[in-house]
Structure 1
Amino acid sequence: MIRLFLEVTKFRLSAAVTLSAVLTFILVRGENVMQMAWSLLAVLLLALGVSALNQYQERDSDAKMARTKRRPIPSGRITPLQVLALSMALILIAMFLIHNELGNLGLILFLFVPLWYNGLYTYLKPHSAFTVVPGGLLGVIPPAIGWLAAGRSLAEPEFLALGLLFFIWQVPHFWLLMAKHDEDYRKGGFPTASEVLGDEAFRRVLFVWWTFTILCGIFAMLIFRVHNPTVIALLIGLDLTAVFFGTKILSEPLTPSRAGALFHKINFFLLATVILLSIDGV
Protein backbone atom coordinates (compact mmCIF):
# COMPACT_ATOMS: atom_id res chain seq x y z
CA MET A 1 0.00 0.00 0.00
CA ILE A 2 2.83 2.41 0.87
CA ARG A 3 4.64 1.61 -2.36
CA LEU A 4 1.43 2.24 -4.30
CA PHE A 5 1.02 5.62 -2.60
CA LEU A 6 4.62 6.57 -3.40
CA GLU A 7 4.12 5.65 -7.06
CA VAL A 8 0.81 7.36 -7.65
CA THR A 9 1.98 10.58 -6.02
CA LYS A 10 5.45 10.52 -7.68
CA PHE A 11 6.93 10.87 -4.22
CA ARG A 12 10.58 11.17 -5.29
CA LEU A 13 9.77 13.98 -7.72
CA SER A 14 7.52 15.68 -5.18
CA ALA A 15 10.27 15.48 -2.56
CA ALA A 16 12.72 17.06 -5.02
CA VAL A 17 10.25 19.89 -5.62
CA THR A 18 9.94 20.39 -1.87
CA LEU A 19 13.73 20.54 -1.54
CA SER A 20 13.78 23.82 -3.46
CA ALA A 21 11.61 25.39 -0.75
CA VAL A 22 13.97 24.10 1.95
CA LEU A 23 17.08 25.41 0.18
CA THR A 24 15.47 28.82 -0.31
CA PHE A 25 14.57 29.04 3.39
CA ILE A 26 18.18 28.21 4.28
CA LEU A 27 19.50 30.64 1.66
CA VAL A 28 17.74 33.62 3.26
CA ARG A 29 18.47 32.52 6.83
CA GLY A 30 14.89 31.94 7.88
CA GLU A 31 14.47 31.67 11.66
CA ASN A 32 10.85 30.55 12.15
CA VAL A 33 11.56 26.84 11.86
CA MET A 34 8.04 25.74 12.85
CA GLN A 35 6.44 27.94 10.22
CA MET A 36 8.85 26.53 7.67
CA ALA A 37 8.14 22.96 8.79
CA TRP A 38 4.38 23.36 8.31
CA SER A 39 4.87 25.25 5.05
CA LEU A 40 7.23 22.54 3.87
CA LEU A 41 4.67 19.87 4.67
CA ALA A 42 2.09 21.87 2.72
CA VAL A 43 4.41 22.10 -0.32
CA LEU A 44 5.02 18.35 -0.19
CA LEU A 45 1.31 17.52 0.13
CA LEU A 46 0.44 19.86 -2.74
CA ALA A 47 3.13 18.32 -4.95
CA LEU A 48 1.87 14.83 -4.08
CA GLY A 49 -1.72 15.87 -4.78
CA VAL A 50 -1.19 17.51 -8.17
CA SER A 51 1.07 14.62 -9.22
CA ALA A 52 -1.66 12.11 -8.37
CA LEU A 53 -4.23 14.25 -10.18
CA ASN A 54 -1.92 14.35 -13.21
CA GLN A 55 -1.73 10.55 -13.24
CA TYR A 56 -5.53 10.48 -13.16
CA GLN A 57 -5.70 12.93 -16.07
CA GLU A 58 -3.06 11.18 -18.21
CA ARG A 59 -4.06 7.58 -17.47
CA ASP A 60 -4.95 6.86 -21.11
CA SER A 61 -1.71 8.22 -22.58
CA ASP A 62 0.27 6.56 -19.77
CA ALA A 63 -1.07 3.20 -20.93
CA LYS A 64 0.52 3.73 -24.37
CA MET A 65 4.03 4.57 -23.15
CA ALA A 66 6.63 2.00 -22.06
CA ARG A 67 7.92 4.37 -19.38
CA THR A 68 4.51 4.87 -17.76
CA LYS A 69 2.35 1.86 -18.60
CA ARG A 70 3.27 0.19 -15.28
CA ARG A 71 2.00 3.13 -13.26
CA PRO A 72 -0.75 2.26 -10.75
CA ILE A 73 -3.78 3.21 -12.88
CA PRO A 74 -2.73 1.71 -16.26
CA SER A 75 -1.54 -1.46 -14.52
CA GLY A 76 -4.90 -1.83 -12.76
CA ARG A 77 -3.54 -1.72 -9.22
CA ILE A 78 -5.79 1.19 -8.28
CA THR A 79 -8.93 2.70 -9.78
CA PRO A 80 -9.03 6.18 -11.33
CA LEU A 81 -11.69 7.25 -8.83
CA GLN A 82 -9.49 6.27 -5.90
CA VAL A 83 -6.61 8.33 -7.29
CA LEU A 84 -8.92 11.29 -7.88
CA ALA A 85 -10.19 11.13 -4.29
CA LEU A 86 -6.65 10.86 -2.93
CA SER A 87 -5.43 13.81 -4.99
CA MET A 88 -8.33 16.02 -3.89
CA ALA A 89 -7.72 15.18 -0.22
CA LEU A 90 -4.00 15.95 -0.45
CA ILE A 91 -4.59 19.24 -2.27
CA LEU A 92 -7.26 20.42 0.17
CA ILE A 93 -5.12 19.61 3.22
CA ALA A 94 -2.19 21.46 1.62
CA MET A 95 -4.40 24.50 0.98
CA PHE A 96 -5.56 24.55 4.60
CA LEU A 97 -2.02 24.28 5.96
CA ILE A 98 -0.51 26.98 3.76
CA HIS A 99 -3.34 29.41 4.47
CA ASN A 100 -2.87 28.81 8.17
CA GLU A 101 0.88 29.55 7.93
CA LEU A 102 1.24 32.17 5.18
CA GLY A 103 -2.25 33.62 4.83
CA ASN A 104 -3.95 34.67 1.62
CA LEU A 105 -0.75 35.12 -0.41
CA GLY A 106 0.35 31.57 0.33
CA LEU A 107 -3.11 30.30 -0.57
CA ILE A 108 -3.15 32.24 -3.86
CA LEU A 109 0.22 30.74 -4.83
CA PHE A 110 -1.05 27.27 -3.99
CA LEU A 111 -4.30 27.74 -5.94
CA PHE A 112 -2.23 28.74 -8.96
CA VAL A 113 -0.47 25.34 -9.05
CA PRO A 114 -3.39 22.97 -9.85
CA LEU A 115 -5.05 25.60 -12.04
CA TRP A 116 -1.86 26.05 -14.09
CA TYR A 117 -0.43 22.52 -13.96
CA ASN A 118 -3.52 20.30 -13.97
CA GLY A 119 -5.54 22.83 -15.92
CA LEU A 120 -3.69 24.81 -18.58
CA TYR A 121 -0.42 22.86 -18.78
CA THR A 122 -1.92 19.36 -18.87
CA TYR A 123 -4.56 20.47 -21.38
CA LEU A 124 -2.00 22.05 -23.73
CA LYS A 125 0.63 19.31 -23.40
CA PRO A 126 -0.87 17.00 -26.10
CA HIS A 127 -1.24 19.97 -28.46
CA SER A 128 2.09 21.78 -28.21
CA ALA A 129 5.73 20.91 -27.62
CA PHE A 130 6.28 24.34 -26.09
CA THR A 131 4.03 24.12 -23.03
CA VAL A 132 7.23 23.78 -20.98
CA VAL A 133 7.74 27.54 -21.30
CA PRO A 134 4.56 28.67 -19.47
CA GLY A 135 4.87 25.53 -17.36
CA GLY A 136 8.17 26.88 -16.07
CA LEU A 137 6.26 29.28 -13.83
CA LEU A 138 5.40 26.31 -11.63
CA GLY A 139 9.05 25.93 -10.68
CA VAL A 140 8.97 29.34 -8.99
CA ILE A 141 6.25 28.45 -6.46
CA PRO A 142 8.23 26.22 -4.02
CA PRO A 143 11.11 28.71 -3.62
CA ALA A 144 8.50 31.46 -3.23
CA ILE A 145 6.99 29.54 -0.32
CA GLY A 146 10.41 29.06 1.25
CA TRP A 147 11.08 32.79 0.85
CA LEU A 148 7.76 33.78 2.43
CA ALA A 149 8.21 31.29 5.28
CA ALA A 150 11.49 33.03 6.07
CA GLY A 151 9.55 36.27 6.54
CA ARG A 152 10.79 37.91 3.35
CA SER A 153 8.98 39.78 0.56
CA LEU A 154 8.62 38.40 -2.96
CA ALA A 155 9.30 41.92 -4.27
CA GLU A 156 12.94 41.77 -3.17
CA PRO A 157 15.48 41.79 -6.03
CA GLU A 158 17.14 38.68 -4.61
CA PHE A 159 13.95 36.65 -4.92
CA LEU A 160 13.26 37.97 -8.41
CA ALA A 161 16.74 36.80 -9.47
CA LEU A 162 16.25 33.42 -7.81
CA GLY A 163 12.77 33.01 -9.26
CA LEU A 164 14.06 33.85 -12.73
CA LEU A 165 16.74 31.16 -12.38
CA PHE A 166 14.18 28.51 -11.39
CA PHE A 167 11.83 29.58 -14.21
CA ILE A 168 14.43 29.53 -16.99
CA TRP A 169 15.98 26.27 -15.74
CA GLN A 170 12.65 24.48 -16.08
CA VAL A 171 12.72 24.75 -19.88
CA PRO A 172 15.97 22.87 -20.66
CA HIS A 173 15.18 20.55 -17.74
CA PHE A 174 11.91 19.35 -19.28
CA TRP A 175 13.05 19.46 -22.89
CA LEU A 176 16.00 17.21 -22.03
CA LEU A 177 13.66 14.85 -20.19
CA MET A 178 11.44 14.69 -23.27
CA ALA A 179 14.47 14.17 -25.51
CA LYS A 180 15.56 11.29 -23.29
CA HIS A 181 12.17 9.61 -23.79
CA ASP A 182 11.40 11.12 -27.21
CA GLU A 183 9.96 8.01 -28.85
CA ASP A 184 7.87 7.19 -25.80
CA TYR A 185 6.33 10.67 -25.72
CA ARG A 186 5.39 10.40 -29.38
CA LYS A 187 3.69 7.05 -28.75
CA GLY A 188 1.74 8.68 -25.95
CA GLY A 189 0.47 11.37 -28.32
CA PHE A 190 2.66 14.19 -27.04
CA PRO A 191 4.47 16.34 -29.63
CA THR A 192 8.15 16.88 -28.89
CA ALA A 193 10.28 19.90 -29.73
CA SER A 194 12.68 17.79 -31.81
CA GLU A 195 9.74 16.49 -33.84
CA VAL A 196 8.30 19.96 -34.46
CA LEU A 197 11.55 21.84 -35.08
CA GLY A 198 13.78 19.09 -36.41
CA ASP A 199 16.81 17.81 -34.53
CA GLU A 200 19.30 20.50 -35.54
CA ALA A 201 16.99 23.45 -34.91
CA PHE A 202 15.87 21.94 -31.61
CA ARG A 203 19.48 21.64 -30.44
CA ARG A 204 20.07 25.30 -31.27
CA VAL A 205 17.00 26.40 -29.32
CA LEU A 206 17.92 24.12 -26.43
CA PHE A 207 21.41 25.61 -26.38
CA VAL A 208 19.91 29.11 -26.09
CA TRP A 209 17.83 28.11 -23.05
CA TRP A 210 20.80 26.27 -21.56
CA THR A 211 22.85 29.46 -21.94
CA PHE A 212 20.04 31.57 -20.44
CA THR A 213 20.07 29.27 -17.40
CA ILE A 214 23.80 29.84 -16.89
CA LEU A 215 23.37 33.60 -17.30
CA CYS A 216 20.58 33.57 -14.72
CA GLY A 217 22.94 31.78 -12.33
CA ILE A 218 25.54 34.50 -12.87
CA PHE A 219 22.87 37.18 -12.44
CA ALA A 220 21.79 35.62 -9.13
CA MET A 221 25.41 35.60 -7.96
CA LEU A 222 25.64 39.34 -8.66
CA ILE A 223 22.29 40.21 -7.07
CA PHE A 224 23.09 38.21 -3.93
CA ARG A 225 26.44 40.04 -3.74
CA VAL A 226 28.53 36.93 -3.21
CA HIS A 227 31.68 37.94 -1.35
CA ASN A 228 33.38 34.70 -0.25
CA PRO A 229 36.38 34.21 -2.63
CA THR A 230 36.10 30.42 -2.47
CA VAL A 231 32.39 30.49 -3.29
CA ILE A 232 33.00 32.95 -6.14
CA ALA A 233 35.69 30.66 -7.58
CA LEU A 234 33.43 27.61 -7.30
CA LEU A 235 30.51 29.43 -8.94
CA ILE A 236 32.71 30.60 -11.82
CA GLY A 237 34.05 27.06 -12.21
CA LEU A 238 30.49 25.73 -12.19
CA ASP A 239 29.44 28.24 -14.86
CA LEU A 240 32.41 27.45 -17.11
CA THR A 241 31.78 23.71 -16.77
CA ALA A 242 28.14 24.24 -17.71
CA VAL A 243 29.22 26.28 -20.75
CA PHE A 244 31.54 23.45 -21.81
CA PHE A 245 28.78 20.85 -21.64
CA GLY A 246 26.38 23.26 -23.32
CA THR A 247 28.59 23.47 -26.42
CA LYS A 248 28.19 19.72 -26.83
CA ILE A 249 24.49 20.29 -27.49
CA LEU A 250 25.49 21.95 -30.76
CA SER A 251 28.39 19.70 -31.69
CA GLU A 252 26.97 16.23 -31.00
CA PRO A 253 23.66 14.47 -31.82
CA LEU A 254 21.19 14.53 -28.95
CA THR A 255 20.71 10.80 -28.40
CA PRO A 256 18.51 9.59 -25.51
CA SER A 257 21.60 8.73 -23.46
CA ARG A 258 23.20 12.14 -24.11
CA ALA A 259 19.94 13.90 -23.29
CA GLY A 260 19.79 11.96 -20.02
CA ALA A 261 23.34 12.95 -19.12
CA LEU A 262 22.68 16.62 -19.89
CA PHE A 263 19.42 16.43 -17.93
CA HIS A 264 21.34 15.47 -14.80
CA LYS A 265 23.99 18.12 -15.44
CA ILE A 266 21.53 21.02 -15.72
CA ASN A 267 19.82 19.82 -12.54
CA PHE A 268 23.18 19.67 -10.76
CA PHE A 269 23.95 23.18 -11.98
CA LEU A 270 20.81 24.56 -10.34
CA LEU A 271 21.29 22.63 -7.11
CA ALA A 272 24.97 23.56 -6.82
CA THR A 273 24.26 27.23 -7.55
CA VAL A 274 21.64 27.51 -4.80
CA ILE A 275 23.80 25.60 -2.29
CA LEU A 276 26.84 27.79 -3.01
CA LEU A 277 24.75 30.95 -2.64
CA SER A 278 23.60 29.59 0.73
CA ILE A 279 27.15 28.82 1.86
CA ASP A 280 28.27 32.35 0.99
CA GLY A 281 26.09 33.84 3.70
CA VAL A 282 27.41 31.60 6.46
Structure 2
Amino acid sequence: MAFDRMSRADASDHSPCVGHCTNDEDGFCLSCRRSGDELTHWRDGAARLRQAAWARIPAEIDKAGLDVMRLPLNPDDIAEIAIETLDEGGAWAVGMSGHWAYGHDLTVDDDGVLTAVSADGDTTITLDLSGKMRALAWARGDRALKDGVQNLPILIVVPRARIKDAPATSPTTLDDGRTDLGYGLPSLRVLDDGDDLVMESLLATARMANASAPPPHASALPQGASATPPDLTLPESYVLAAVLLPKGEAPLN
Protein backbone atom coordinates (compact mmCIF):
# COMPACT_ATOMS: atom_id res chain seq x y z
CA MET A 1 0.00 0.00 0.00
CA ALA A 2 1.32 3.46 -0.89
CA PHE A 3 2.55 5.54 2.04
CA ASP A 4 -0.05 8.13 3.03
CA ARG A 5 1.59 11.55 2.64
CA MET A 6 -0.82 13.02 5.22
CA SER A 7 -0.68 10.20 7.77
CA ARG A 8 0.91 12.41 10.44
CA ALA A 9 -1.47 15.36 10.04
CA ASP A 10 -2.61 15.02 13.66
CA ALA A 11 0.91 15.18 15.12
CA SER A 12 1.89 18.27 17.11
CA ASP A 13 5.51 18.12 15.90
CA HIS A 14 4.55 18.58 12.23
CA SER A 15 3.29 21.90 10.95
CA PRO A 16 2.64 23.47 7.53
CA CYS A 17 5.14 26.28 8.30
CA VAL A 18 7.53 26.95 5.40
CA GLY A 19 9.85 29.21 7.40
CA HIS A 20 8.78 32.45 5.71
CA CYS A 21 6.06 34.06 7.82
CA THR A 22 4.05 36.91 6.30
CA ASN A 23 1.04 37.85 8.39
CA ASP A 24 -1.87 40.13 7.54
CA GLU A 25 -3.41 42.59 9.99
CA ASP A 26 -5.49 39.80 11.55
CA GLY A 27 -2.47 37.57 12.18
CA PHE A 28 -3.30 35.19 9.30
CA CYS A 29 -0.14 33.72 7.77
CA LEU A 30 -0.11 34.27 4.01
CA SER A 31 2.51 31.54 3.55
CA CYS A 32 1.14 28.51 5.43
CA ARG A 33 -2.50 29.76 5.43
CA ARG A 34 -3.11 29.41 9.17
CA SER A 35 -4.98 31.81 11.43
CA GLY A 36 -3.30 33.56 14.33
CA ASP A 37 -5.16 31.30 16.74
CA GLU A 38 -3.99 28.17 14.89
CA LEU A 39 -0.42 29.43 14.95
CA THR A 40 -0.56 30.15 18.68
CA HIS A 41 -2.15 26.87 19.73
CA TRP A 42 -0.77 24.49 17.11
CA ARG A 43 1.24 22.33 19.51
CA ASP A 44 -1.07 22.39 22.53
CA GLY A 45 -4.38 22.21 20.66
CA ALA A 46 -6.45 19.11 19.95
CA ALA A 47 -5.24 16.69 17.28
CA ARG A 48 -8.58 16.96 15.47
CA LEU A 49 -8.03 20.72 15.03
CA ARG A 50 -4.63 20.12 13.41
CA GLN A 51 -6.18 17.53 11.09
CA ALA A 52 -8.93 19.98 10.16
CA ALA A 53 -6.35 22.66 9.36
CA TRP A 54 -4.30 20.29 7.20
CA ALA A 55 -7.48 19.32 5.35
CA ARG A 56 -8.33 22.97 4.65
CA ILE A 57 -4.86 24.25 3.75
CA PRO A 58 -4.41 22.69 0.26
CA ALA A 59 -7.40 24.58 -1.17
CA GLU A 60 -6.23 27.76 0.57
CA ILE A 61 -2.79 27.45 -1.04
CA ASP A 62 -4.36 26.86 -4.46
CA LYS A 63 -6.57 29.92 -4.01
CA ALA A 64 -3.52 32.04 -3.17
CA GLY A 65 -1.89 31.03 -6.47
CA LEU A 66 0.87 29.00 -4.81
CA ASP A 67 1.83 25.49 -5.91
CA VAL A 68 3.81 23.93 -3.05
CA MET A 69 2.78 22.73 0.40
CA ARG A 70 4.87 21.34 3.21
CA LEU A 71 3.92 17.77 4.13
CA PRO A 72 3.79 16.27 7.65
CA LEU A 73 6.65 13.82 7.06
CA ASN A 74 9.76 12.87 9.02
CA PRO A 75 13.06 11.64 7.48
CA ASP A 76 12.04 7.97 7.71
CA ASP A 77 8.79 8.79 5.89
CA ILE A 78 10.68 10.64 3.16
CA ALA A 79 13.06 7.70 2.70
CA GLU A 80 10.12 5.31 2.45
CA ILE A 81 8.48 7.48 -0.20
CA ALA A 82 11.77 7.77 -2.13
CA ILE A 83 12.01 3.97 -2.29
CA GLU A 84 8.32 3.62 -3.10
CA THR A 85 8.69 6.12 -5.96
CA LEU A 86 11.22 3.87 -7.69
CA ASP A 87 9.34 0.66 -6.89
CA GLU A 88 6.29 2.10 -8.64
CA GLY A 89 8.21 3.13 -11.78
CA GLY A 90 9.03 6.73 -10.92
CA ALA A 91 12.39 8.50 -10.72
CA TRP A 92 14.62 10.72 -8.63
CA ALA A 93 15.96 13.92 -10.19
CA VAL A 94 18.97 16.02 -9.19
CA GLY A 95 20.43 18.97 -11.06
CA MET A 96 19.69 22.42 -12.44
CA SER A 97 17.40 24.00 -15.00
CA GLY A 98 18.16 22.49 -18.38
CA HIS A 99 20.44 19.77 -16.99
CA TRP A 100 18.93 17.04 -14.80
CA ALA A 101 20.16 13.59 -13.79
CA TYR A 102 17.68 10.76 -13.13
CA GLY A 103 17.79 7.59 -11.08
CA HIS A 104 15.26 4.79 -11.67
CA ASP A 105 16.35 1.59 -9.91
CA LEU A 106 17.30 1.31 -6.23
CA THR A 107 20.65 -0.41 -5.63
CA VAL A 108 21.55 0.50 -2.03
CA ASP A 109 19.44 1.12 1.09
CA ASP A 110 21.85 1.74 3.98
CA ASP A 111 20.31 3.42 7.04
CA GLY A 112 19.06 6.57 5.35
CA VAL A 113 21.58 6.60 2.51
CA LEU A 114 19.89 5.45 -0.70
CA THR A 115 21.45 4.90 -4.12
CA ALA A 116 19.74 4.47 -7.48
CA VAL A 117 20.93 4.09 -11.07
CA SER A 118 19.43 5.35 -14.29
CA ALA A 119 17.74 3.02 -16.74
CA ASP A 120 20.86 2.99 -18.96
CA GLY A 121 23.21 2.48 -16.00
CA ASP A 122 25.27 5.58 -16.79
CA THR A 123 24.00 7.74 -13.91
CA THR A 124 24.13 7.04 -10.17
CA ILE A 125 22.25 9.15 -7.64
CA THR A 126 22.83 8.93 -3.90
CA LEU A 127 20.42 10.52 -1.41
CA ASP A 128 21.64 11.05 2.15
CA LEU A 129 18.38 11.45 4.06
CA SER A 130 19.99 11.58 7.50
CA GLY A 131 20.24 15.38 7.52
CA LYS A 132 17.77 18.20 8.14
CA MET A 133 15.16 18.28 5.40
CA ARG A 134 11.55 18.94 4.53
CA ALA A 135 9.20 17.44 1.95
CA LEU A 136 6.91 19.63 -0.15
CA ALA A 137 4.12 18.51 -2.46
CA TRP A 138 4.35 20.26 -5.84
CA ALA A 139 1.17 20.90 -7.81
CA ARG A 140 3.01 21.00 -11.12
CA GLY A 141 1.38 22.32 -14.28
CA ASP A 142 -2.38 22.71 -14.07
CA ARG A 143 -2.83 20.42 -11.07
CA ALA A 144 -4.19 21.50 -7.69
CA LEU A 145 -3.22 20.56 -4.15
CA LYS A 146 -6.87 20.31 -3.13
CA ASP A 147 -7.29 17.37 -5.51
CA GLY A 148 -4.91 15.33 -3.35
CA VAL A 149 -1.16 15.23 -2.76
CA GLN A 150 -0.71 11.46 -3.02
CA ASN A 151 0.38 11.39 -6.68
CA LEU A 152 2.17 14.73 -6.95
CA PRO A 153 5.93 15.19 -7.29
CA ILE A 154 7.71 15.58 -3.95
CA LEU A 155 10.41 18.18 -3.45
CA ILE A 156 13.09 17.32 -0.91
CA VAL A 157 14.29 20.68 0.38
CA VAL A 158 16.78 21.97 2.93
CA PRO A 159 16.63 25.21 4.95
CA ARG A 160 18.60 27.86 3.07
CA ALA A 161 20.35 28.77 6.32
CA ARG A 162 22.30 25.50 6.10
CA ILE A 163 24.33 26.85 3.17
CA LYS A 164 27.66 27.80 4.75
CA ASP A 165 30.05 28.46 1.86
CA ALA A 166 29.92 30.94 -0.99
CA PRO A 167 29.69 29.20 -4.39
CA ALA A 168 32.58 29.21 -6.83
CA THR A 169 31.95 31.49 -9.81
CA SER A 170 34.86 30.32 -11.94
CA PRO A 171 36.53 26.91 -12.40
CA THR A 172 38.36 25.96 -9.19
CA THR A 173 40.51 22.91 -8.44
CA LEU A 174 39.52 21.30 -5.14
CA ASP A 175 41.84 19.60 -2.65
CA ASP A 176 40.67 16.16 -3.84
CA GLY A 177 41.67 16.94 -7.44
CA ARG A 178 38.18 17.47 -8.79
CA THR A 179 37.29 20.73 -10.54
CA ASP A 180 34.35 22.82 -9.41
CA LEU A 181 33.14 24.25 -12.71
CA GLY A 182 32.08 27.47 -11.02
CA TYR A 183 28.39 27.70 -11.77
CA GLY A 184 27.77 30.09 -8.90
CA LEU A 185 24.71 28.23 -7.60
CA PRO A 186 24.65 28.30 -3.76
CA SER A 187 22.77 25.00 -3.42
CA LEU A 188 24.42 22.96 -6.21
CA ARG A 189 27.99 22.25 -7.24
CA VAL A 190 28.85 20.93 -10.70
CA LEU A 191 32.16 19.07 -10.73
CA ASP A 192 34.49 17.62 -13.35
CA ASP A 193 35.78 14.32 -11.94
CA GLY A 194 37.86 12.83 -14.71
CA ASP A 195 35.52 11.08 -17.12
CA ASP A 196 32.49 11.78 -14.93
CA LEU A 197 30.34 14.84 -14.37
CA VAL A 198 29.10 15.18 -10.78
CA MET A 199 26.29 17.37 -9.46
CA GLU A 200 26.08 17.80 -5.68
CA SER A 201 23.18 19.31 -3.77
CA LEU A 202 23.03 19.53 0.02
CA LEU A 203 21.56 16.01 0.30
CA ALA A 204 22.15 14.34 -3.06
CA THR A 205 24.97 13.44 -5.43
CA ALA A 206 24.47 12.57 -9.09
CA ARG A 207 27.39 11.00 -10.97
CA MET A 208 27.09 10.79 -14.76
CA ALA A 209 29.60 8.67 -16.65
CA ASN A 210 31.12 10.23 -19.77
CA ALA A 211 28.67 13.14 -19.57
CA SER A 212 29.17 16.52 -21.19
CA ALA A 213 28.86 19.57 -18.96
CA PRO A 214 26.67 22.61 -19.51
CA PRO A 215 28.50 25.96 -20.04
CA PRO A 216 31.81 26.01 -18.15
CA HIS A 217 31.17 28.77 -15.61
CA ALA A 218 28.52 31.01 -14.14
CA SER A 219 28.92 33.90 -16.58
CA ALA A 220 28.07 31.56 -19.47
CA LEU A 221 24.93 30.05 -17.93
CA PRO A 222 21.63 30.59 -19.71
CA GLN A 223 19.78 33.62 -18.35
CA GLY A 224 17.74 32.62 -15.31
CA ALA A 225 19.46 29.26 -14.81
CA SER A 226 19.02 27.98 -11.29
CA ALA A 227 19.05 24.81 -9.22
CA THR A 228 15.26 24.55 -9.58
CA PRO A 229 13.02 23.86 -12.58
CA PRO A 230 11.86 27.12 -14.22
CA ASP A 231 8.21 26.31 -13.52
CA LEU A 232 8.80 25.99 -9.76
CA THR A 233 8.84 28.81 -7.21
CA LEU A 234 10.16 27.66 -3.84
CA PRO A 235 9.59 29.51 -0.56
CA GLU A 236 12.71 31.63 -0.17
CA SER A 237 13.63 29.88 3.09
CA TYR A 238 14.38 26.59 1.25
CA VAL A 239 16.73 25.27 -1.42
CA LEU A 240 16.05 22.20 -3.54
CA ALA A 241 18.03 19.01 -2.91
CA ALA A 242 16.15 16.46 -5.06
CA VAL A 243 12.79 15.77 -6.70
CA LEU A 244 10.81 12.53 -6.44
CA LEU A 245 8.86 12.10 -9.67
CA PRO A 246 5.96 9.63 -9.77
CA LYS A 247 5.53 7.24 -12.68
CA GLY A 248 4.47 9.02 -15.85
CA GLU A 249 5.63 12.47 -14.69
CA ALA A 250 7.19 14.55 -17.47
CA PRO A 251 10.95 15.21 -17.25
CA LEU A 252 12.00 18.47 -15.61
CA ASN A 253 12.90 21.52 -17.68
TM-score (norm 2): 0.32
Of Structure 1 and Structure 2, the greater strand share is in 2
Of Structure 1 and Structure 2, the greater helix share is in 1
